[in-house]
Amino acid sequence: MDKKSSEKELLDNDDQSKSLIKQIYSVIRENWLAFLFALIISLIIIIVVPIVYSIETKVSRNNGSNLAWNVTGITIFNRTLLASQSPNLSLGLISAIGFDSNSNLYIVDKTYHRVYQLNENYQFLTFIGSENGLAGSDLNSLNSPNDIYIASPNKIYIADTNNSRIVCWDPSYRNLSLVYGSNNSPASPLNSPMSVTMDSNSIMYVADYGNNRIVSFNISDKTPKFSLKLANNQNNERETYVTTPITIKYDITMDSIIIAQETGYNVVRWYTSSTPATWTLIAGSASSELSGTSRTLFNKVCYANVDRYGNTYVADCYNQRIQYYQGDLTKGRTIAGVILAQGTNPYLFNQPTSVTLDNDNNLYVSDSNNYRIQKFVTV
Protein backbone atom coordinates (compact mmCIF):
# COMPACT_ATOMS: atom_id res chain seq x y z
CA MET A 1 0.00 0.00 0.00
CA ASP A 2 2.79 2.36 0.93
CA LYS A 3 4.70 1.40 -2.22
CA LYS A 4 1.70 2.15 -4.44
CA SER A 5 1.19 5.48 -2.70
CA SER A 6 4.83 6.43 -3.37
CA GLU A 7 4.58 5.50 -7.01
CA LYS A 8 1.39 7.49 -7.36
CA GLU A 9 3.06 10.49 -5.70
CA LEU A 10 6.00 10.30 -8.10
CA LEU A 11 3.66 10.15 -11.08
CA ASP A 12 1.71 13.14 -9.78
CA ASN A 13 4.96 15.14 -9.36
CA ASP A 14 6.04 14.20 -12.87
CA ASP A 15 2.71 15.33 -14.26
CA GLN A 16 3.04 18.63 -12.37
CA SER A 17 6.55 19.20 -13.76
CA LYS A 18 5.35 18.53 -17.30
CA SER A 19 2.42 20.84 -16.76
CA LEU A 20 4.74 23.59 -15.49
CA ILE A 21 7.03 23.20 -18.50
CA LYS A 22 4.02 23.43 -20.82
CA GLN A 23 2.88 26.60 -19.05
CA ILE A 24 6.33 28.17 -19.39
CA TYR A 25 6.53 27.18 -23.04
CA SER A 26 3.09 28.62 -23.63
CA VAL A 27 4.08 31.92 -21.97
CA ILE A 28 7.26 32.12 -24.04
CA ARG A 29 5.31 31.43 -27.27
CA GLU A 30 2.79 34.10 -26.46
CA ASN A 31 5.41 36.67 -25.38
CA TRP A 32 8.43 35.72 -27.49
CA LEU A 33 8.90 39.26 -28.81
CA ALA A 34 9.14 40.73 -25.32
CA PHE A 35 11.60 38.02 -24.25
CA LEU A 36 13.74 38.64 -27.34
CA PHE A 37 13.79 42.37 -26.64
CA ALA A 38 14.82 41.75 -23.02
CA LEU A 39 17.62 39.44 -24.21
CA ILE A 40 18.94 42.06 -26.61
CA ILE A 41 18.90 44.75 -23.89
CA SER A 42 20.80 42.43 -21.54
CA LEU A 43 23.47 41.75 -24.17
CA ILE A 44 23.85 45.48 -24.81
CA ILE A 45 24.34 46.18 -21.09
CA ILE A 46 26.80 43.33 -20.60
CA ILE A 47 28.87 43.63 -23.80
CA VAL A 48 28.31 46.83 -25.77
CA VAL A 49 28.17 49.47 -22.99
CA PRO A 50 31.66 48.71 -21.60
CA ILE A 51 33.11 48.91 -25.12
CA VAL A 52 31.43 52.26 -25.82
CA TYR A 53 32.53 53.62 -22.43
CA SER A 54 36.10 52.59 -23.17
CA ILE A 55 36.04 54.34 -26.54
CA GLU A 56 34.54 57.52 -25.10
CA THR A 57 37.14 57.63 -22.37
CA LYS A 58 39.92 57.27 -24.88
CA VAL A 59 38.52 60.01 -27.11
CA SER A 60 38.11 62.43 -24.22
CA ARG A 61 41.73 61.91 -23.17
CA ASN A 62 42.88 62.52 -26.72
CA ASN A 63 40.92 65.77 -26.65
CA GLY A 64 42.64 66.79 -23.43
CA SER A 65 39.41 67.10 -21.46
CA ASN A 66 39.99 64.26 -19.02
CA LEU A 67 43.72 64.15 -18.35
CA ALA A 68 44.97 62.50 -15.15
CA TRP A 69 48.30 61.26 -13.87
CA ASN A 70 49.73 58.86 -11.34
CA VAL A 71 50.58 60.84 -8.19
CA THR A 72 53.81 58.92 -7.60
CA GLY A 73 56.72 60.08 -9.70
CA ILE A 74 59.49 58.05 -11.34
CA THR A 75 63.00 59.50 -11.30
CA ILE A 76 64.22 59.44 -14.90
CA PHE A 77 67.33 61.60 -14.41
CA ASN A 78 69.39 62.93 -11.52
CA ARG A 79 72.94 63.69 -10.44
CA THR A 80 73.84 60.04 -10.01
CA LEU A 81 72.62 59.05 -13.48
CA LEU A 82 74.47 61.94 -15.15
CA ALA A 83 77.71 61.08 -13.30
CA SER A 84 77.40 57.43 -14.35
CA GLN A 85 77.02 58.41 -18.02
CA SER A 86 79.46 61.33 -18.09
CA PRO A 87 81.76 61.36 -15.03
CA ASN A 88 83.14 64.85 -15.74
CA LEU A 89 79.72 66.52 -15.54
CA SER A 90 77.51 67.40 -12.59
CA LEU A 91 73.86 68.43 -12.38
CA GLY A 92 72.89 71.66 -10.63
CA LEU A 93 69.63 73.55 -10.19
CA ILE A 94 67.25 72.83 -13.08
CA SER A 95 65.20 75.77 -14.34
CA ALA A 96 63.49 74.29 -17.43
CA ILE A 97 62.94 71.09 -19.40
CA GLY A 98 61.44 70.34 -22.82
CA PHE A 99 61.18 67.79 -25.63
CA ASP A 100 61.94 68.18 -29.31
CA SER A 101 60.04 66.40 -32.10
CA ASN A 102 62.46 63.46 -31.92
CA SER A 103 61.65 62.93 -28.21
CA ASN A 104 65.05 64.20 -27.10
CA LEU A 105 64.84 65.83 -23.68
CA TYR A 106 66.62 69.12 -22.93
CA ILE A 107 67.52 70.16 -19.37
CA VAL A 108 68.48 73.74 -18.47
CA ASP A 109 71.05 73.83 -15.64
CA LYS A 110 71.44 77.31 -14.11
CA THR A 111 74.21 76.28 -11.71
CA TYR A 112 76.65 74.93 -14.30
CA HIS A 113 75.48 77.22 -17.12
CA ARG A 114 74.58 74.41 -19.49
CA VAL A 115 71.74 72.79 -21.41
CA TYR A 116 71.92 68.99 -21.49
CA GLN A 117 70.47 66.88 -24.28
CA LEU A 118 69.18 63.36 -23.54
CA ASN A 119 67.83 60.83 -26.00
CA GLU A 120 64.35 59.27 -25.86
CA ASN A 121 65.61 56.74 -23.30
CA TYR A 122 66.93 59.55 -21.08
CA GLN A 123 70.55 58.74 -21.89
CA PHE A 124 73.00 61.65 -22.01
CA LEU A 125 73.97 62.77 -25.53
CA THR A 126 75.68 66.15 -25.30
CA PHE A 127 75.51 69.59 -23.70
CA ILE A 128 75.42 73.25 -24.72
CA GLY A 129 77.77 75.57 -22.83
CA SER A 130 81.29 75.42 -21.47
CA GLU A 131 82.91 72.11 -20.57
CA ASN A 132 84.21 73.41 -17.25
CA GLY A 133 80.75 74.49 -16.11
CA LEU A 134 81.76 78.14 -15.69
CA ALA A 135 79.80 81.15 -16.88
CA GLY A 136 80.95 82.99 -19.98
CA SER A 137 79.80 85.54 -22.53
CA ASP A 138 81.31 84.20 -25.76
CA LEU A 139 79.39 82.02 -28.21
CA ASN A 140 80.64 78.84 -26.60
CA SER A 141 79.28 79.73 -23.16
CA LEU A 142 76.14 80.59 -21.21
CA ASN A 143 75.53 82.51 -18.00
CA SER A 144 72.63 81.27 -15.84
CA PRO A 145 70.29 80.24 -18.69
CA ASN A 146 66.70 80.02 -17.50
CA ASP A 147 64.48 78.67 -20.30
CA ILE A 148 64.45 77.32 -23.85
CA TYR A 149 62.19 77.33 -26.87
CA ILE A 150 62.54 74.29 -29.13
CA ALA A 151 61.59 75.28 -32.67
CA SER A 152 62.88 72.01 -34.13
CA PRO A 153 65.64 69.54 -33.37
CA ASN A 154 67.94 71.95 -35.24
CA LYS A 155 66.83 75.19 -33.59
CA ILE A 156 67.08 75.50 -29.82
CA TYR A 157 66.57 79.07 -28.59
CA ILE A 158 67.95 79.83 -25.12
CA ALA A 159 67.15 82.68 -22.72
CA ASP A 160 70.75 83.34 -21.61
CA THR A 161 69.64 85.34 -18.60
CA ASN A 162 72.79 86.84 -17.06
CA ASN A 163 74.20 87.63 -20.51
CA SER A 164 70.94 89.49 -21.27
CA ARG A 165 70.58 87.84 -24.67
CA ILE A 166 68.73 85.21 -26.68
CA VAL A 167 70.99 82.71 -28.44
CA CYS A 168 70.31 79.81 -30.79
CA TRP A 169 71.99 76.40 -30.83
CA ASP A 170 72.25 74.43 -34.04
CA PRO A 171 73.54 70.91 -33.34
CA SER A 172 74.82 70.54 -36.89
CA TYR A 173 77.23 73.46 -36.28
CA ARG A 174 77.82 72.66 -32.60
CA ASN A 175 77.93 76.32 -31.58
CA LEU A 176 75.75 79.23 -30.52
CA SER A 177 74.60 82.20 -32.59
CA LEU A 178 73.32 85.51 -31.25
CA VAL A 179 69.64 86.13 -31.95
CA TYR A 180 68.84 89.23 -29.90
CA GLY A 181 70.38 91.17 -27.05
CA SER A 182 73.82 92.32 -25.95
CA ASN A 183 75.41 94.36 -28.72
CA ASN A 184 72.65 93.97 -31.33
CA SER A 185 69.94 95.80 -29.35
CA PRO A 186 71.72 98.95 -28.09
CA ALA A 187 68.66 101.24 -28.16
CA SER A 188 66.71 99.34 -25.49
CA PRO A 189 68.72 96.32 -24.35
CA LEU A 190 67.30 93.28 -22.61
CA ASN A 191 67.72 93.01 -18.86
CA SER A 192 67.81 89.43 -17.53
CA PRO A 193 65.48 87.78 -20.06
CA MET A 194 63.93 84.72 -18.42
CA SER A 195 62.00 83.02 -21.21
CA VAL A 196 61.46 82.94 -24.96
CA THR A 197 58.81 81.58 -27.32
CA MET A 198 57.64 81.94 -30.93
CA ASP A 199 54.24 82.04 -32.59
CA SER A 200 53.11 80.50 -35.88
CA ASN A 201 54.11 83.67 -37.79
CA SER A 202 57.76 83.47 -36.69
CA ILE A 203 57.32 86.32 -34.21
CA MET A 204 59.57 85.76 -31.21
CA TYR A 205 58.49 86.88 -27.72
CA VAL A 206 60.87 87.45 -24.82
CA ALA A 207 59.98 87.74 -21.14
CA ASP A 208 62.25 90.69 -20.35
CA TYR A 209 62.24 90.11 -16.60
CA GLY A 210 64.50 92.97 -15.46
CA ASN A 211 62.64 95.55 -17.56
CA ASN A 212 59.16 94.24 -16.64
CA ARG A 213 57.98 94.04 -20.23
CA ILE A 214 57.50 91.74 -23.22
CA VAL A 215 59.77 92.24 -26.22
CA SER A 216 58.68 90.86 -29.60
CA PHE A 217 60.27 90.87 -33.04
CA ASN A 218 60.15 89.04 -36.34
CA ILE A 219 62.90 86.45 -36.33
CA SER A 220 64.07 87.62 -39.78
CA ASP A 221 64.53 91.37 -39.20
CA LYS A 222 64.81 91.69 -35.37
CA THR A 223 62.91 95.03 -35.25
CA PRO A 224 61.65 95.11 -31.65
CA LYS A 225 58.25 96.00 -30.26
CA PHE A 226 57.80 96.59 -26.53
CA SER A 227 54.53 95.57 -24.91
CA LEU A 228 52.84 95.38 -21.50
CA LYS A 229 55.33 97.84 -20.03
CA LEU A 230 54.42 99.96 -17.00
CA ALA A 231 54.28 103.55 -18.27
CA ASN A 232 55.69 106.34 -16.12
CA ASN A 233 53.44 109.03 -14.63
CA GLN A 234 50.26 107.35 -15.81
CA ASN A 235 47.32 105.72 -14.07
CA ASN A 236 48.07 102.20 -15.29
CA GLU A 237 45.40 99.53 -15.03
CA ARG A 238 46.88 96.30 -13.72
CA GLU A 239 46.01 94.35 -16.86
CA THR A 240 48.08 96.73 -19.03
CA TYR A 241 51.51 95.78 -17.72
CA VAL A 242 53.51 92.81 -16.43
CA THR A 243 55.81 92.51 -13.46
CA THR A 244 58.63 89.96 -13.15
CA PRO A 245 57.57 87.92 -16.22
CA ILE A 246 59.37 84.62 -15.69
CA THR A 247 57.82 82.39 -18.35
CA ILE A 248 56.28 83.05 -21.75
CA LYS A 249 54.60 80.43 -23.97
CA TYR A 250 52.61 80.49 -27.19
CA ASP A 251 49.17 78.86 -27.05
CA ILE A 252 48.41 77.67 -30.57
CA THR A 253 44.82 76.70 -29.66
CA MET A 254 43.87 80.33 -28.98
CA ASP A 255 46.62 82.15 -30.90
CA SER A 256 47.70 83.94 -27.74
CA ILE A 257 50.62 84.31 -25.34
CA ILE A 258 50.68 82.82 -21.84
CA ILE A 259 52.74 84.80 -19.33
CA ALA A 260 53.68 83.75 -15.80
CA GLN A 261 54.47 86.61 -13.41
CA GLU A 262 56.74 85.38 -10.63
CA THR A 263 55.97 87.90 -7.88
CA GLY A 264 52.77 88.96 -9.61
CA TYR A 265 51.41 85.63 -8.33
CA ASN A 266 49.47 84.92 -11.49
CA VAL A 267 49.37 83.46 -15.00
CA VAL A 268 47.73 85.56 -17.70
CA ARG A 269 46.73 85.41 -21.36
CA TRP A 270 47.69 88.14 -23.83
CA TYR A 271 46.03 88.41 -27.21
CA THR A 272 48.72 90.22 -29.16
CA SER A 273 46.17 91.94 -31.41
CA SER A 274 44.57 93.74 -28.44
CA THR A 275 44.80 97.55 -28.58
CA PRO A 276 45.95 98.82 -26.20
CA ALA A 277 47.81 95.70 -25.08
CA THR A 278 46.00 94.06 -22.16
CA TRP A 279 45.95 90.64 -20.54
CA THR A 280 43.19 88.51 -19.04
CA LEU A 281 43.63 86.37 -15.95
CA ILE A 282 43.99 82.58 -16.23
CA ALA A 283 44.90 81.84 -12.62
CA GLY A 284 46.19 83.54 -9.49
CA SER A 285 45.76 87.03 -8.10
CA ALA A 286 44.32 89.61 -10.51
CA SER A 287 45.79 92.46 -8.48
CA SER A 288 49.17 90.71 -8.00
CA GLU A 289 48.89 91.48 -4.30
CA LEU A 290 47.72 88.11 -3.00
CA SER A 291 49.67 84.91 -2.52
CA GLY A 292 48.30 81.80 -0.87
CA THR A 293 47.69 78.07 -0.83
CA SER A 294 44.14 77.83 -2.18
CA ARG A 295 43.13 76.45 -5.57
CA THR A 296 43.03 79.98 -7.00
CA LEU A 297 46.29 81.39 -5.58
CA PHE A 298 50.05 80.80 -5.85
CA ASN A 299 53.02 81.29 -3.57
CA LYS A 300 55.69 82.30 -6.11
CA VAL A 301 55.21 81.16 -9.69
CA CYS A 302 58.35 79.56 -11.09
CA TYR A 303 57.05 78.32 -14.43
CA ALA A 304 53.96 77.92 -16.59
CA ASN A 305 53.36 75.77 -19.65
CA VAL A 306 50.47 75.09 -22.01
CA ASP A 307 49.70 71.81 -23.77
CA ARG A 308 48.37 71.24 -27.28
CA TYR A 309 44.80 71.26 -25.96
CA GLY A 310 45.10 74.70 -24.33
CA ASN A 311 45.38 73.45 -20.73
CA THR A 312 47.77 75.32 -18.42
CA TYR A 313 50.30 73.85 -15.98
CA VAL A 314 51.92 75.95 -13.24
CA ALA A 315 54.94 75.18 -11.07
CA ASP A 316 53.84 76.75 -7.78
CA CYS A 317 57.30 76.23 -6.33
CA TYR A 318 56.97 77.60 -2.78
CA ASN A 319 53.77 75.60 -2.33
CA GLN A 320 55.63 72.48 -3.59
CA ARG A 321 53.01 71.54 -6.16
CA ILE A 322 52.04 71.50 -9.84
CA GLN A 323 48.65 73.05 -10.57
CA TYR A 324 46.53 72.12 -13.59
CA TYR A 325 43.98 74.45 -15.20
CA GLN A 326 41.69 73.10 -17.89
CA GLY A 327 41.14 75.75 -20.53
CA ASP A 328 40.61 79.10 -18.84
CA LEU A 329 39.16 77.73 -15.61
CA THR A 330 40.54 79.80 -12.74
CA LYS A 331 40.26 77.04 -10.15
CA GLY A 332 43.06 74.53 -10.52
CA ARG A 333 43.73 71.09 -9.14
CA THR A 334 46.97 69.72 -7.80
CA ILE A 335 48.27 66.98 -10.11
CA ALA A 336 51.70 66.47 -8.52
CA GLY A 337 53.18 67.26 -5.13
CA VAL A 338 51.55 67.90 -1.76
CA ILE A 339 50.74 71.41 -0.59
CA LEU A 340 53.60 72.85 1.51
CA ALA A 341 55.11 69.36 1.97
CA GLN A 342 58.79 69.21 1.09
CA GLY A 343 60.72 65.96 0.73
CA THR A 344 62.54 63.39 -1.36
CA ASN A 345 59.76 60.80 -1.60
CA PRO A 346 58.48 59.97 -5.12
CA TYR A 347 55.32 62.01 -4.52
CA LEU A 348 57.01 65.09 -2.98
CA PHE A 349 59.12 67.97 -4.30
CA ASN A 350 61.76 70.36 -3.07
CA GLN A 351 61.16 73.41 -5.26
CA PRO A 352 59.50 72.24 -8.51
CA THR A 353 60.71 74.77 -11.05
CA SER A 354 59.33 73.66 -14.43
CA VAL A 355 56.89 71.29 -16.08
CA THR A 356 56.42 69.77 -19.53
CA LEU A 357 54.67 66.86 -21.28
CA ASP A 358 55.70 64.30 -23.87
CA ASN A 359 53.68 63.15 -26.88
CA ASP A 360 51.83 60.60 -24.71
CA ASN A 361 50.78 63.29 -22.20
CA ASN A 362 53.10 61.96 -19.50
CA LEU A 363 54.05 64.76 -17.11
CA TYR A 364 57.65 65.74 -16.32
CA VAL A 365 58.70 68.01 -13.45
CA SER A 366 62.12 69.42 -12.62
CA ASP A 367 62.48 68.89 -8.87
CA SER A 368 65.25 71.43 -8.61
CA ASN A 369 66.57 71.21 -5.06
CA ASN A 370 66.42 67.42 -5.22
CA TYR A 371 68.49 67.60 -8.44
CA ARG A 372 66.20 65.25 -10.34
CA ILE A 373 63.49 65.03 -12.98
CA GLN A 374 60.29 63.20 -12.05
CA LYS A 375 57.96 61.53 -14.55
CA PHE A 376 54.27 61.13 -13.75
CA VAL A 377 52.61 58.60 -16.03
CA THR A 378 49.23 59.45 -17.50
CA VAL A 379 46.38 57.15 -16.41
Please tell me the predicted confidence (pLDDT) of residue 14.
56
Share of the chain above pLDDT 90, in %: 72
Taking the C-alpha atoms of residue 308 and residue 315, their distance in angstroms, rounded to an integer, is 18
At residue 319, what are phi and psi to the nearest 5 degrees? -90, 0
Taking the C-alpha atoms of residue 128 and residue 114, their distance in angstroms, rounded to an integer, is 5
pLDDT value at 174 more than 90: no
pLDDT value at 62 more than 90: no
Let me know if 151 is exposed, middle or buried by CB neighbors in 10 A (0-12, 13-18, 19+): middle
Lowest mean pLDDT among 45-49, 58-62, 109-113, 172-176: 58-62
pLDDT value at 46 more than 70: no
* SS3 assignment, position 344: coil
Share of the chain above pLDDT 70, in %: 84
Lowest mean pLDDT among 17-21, 153-157, 330-334, 345-349: 17-21
Q: Does the domain spanning 91-337 belong to CATH 2.120.10.30?
A: yes
Mean pLDDT of 357-371: 97
1 compared with 162, residue with greater pLDDT = 162
Residue type, 162: N
Whole-model pTM over 0.95: no
Please tell me the predicted confidence (pLDDT) of residue 234.
58
- Nearest of 292, 311, 209, 211 to residue 252 by alpha carbon: 311
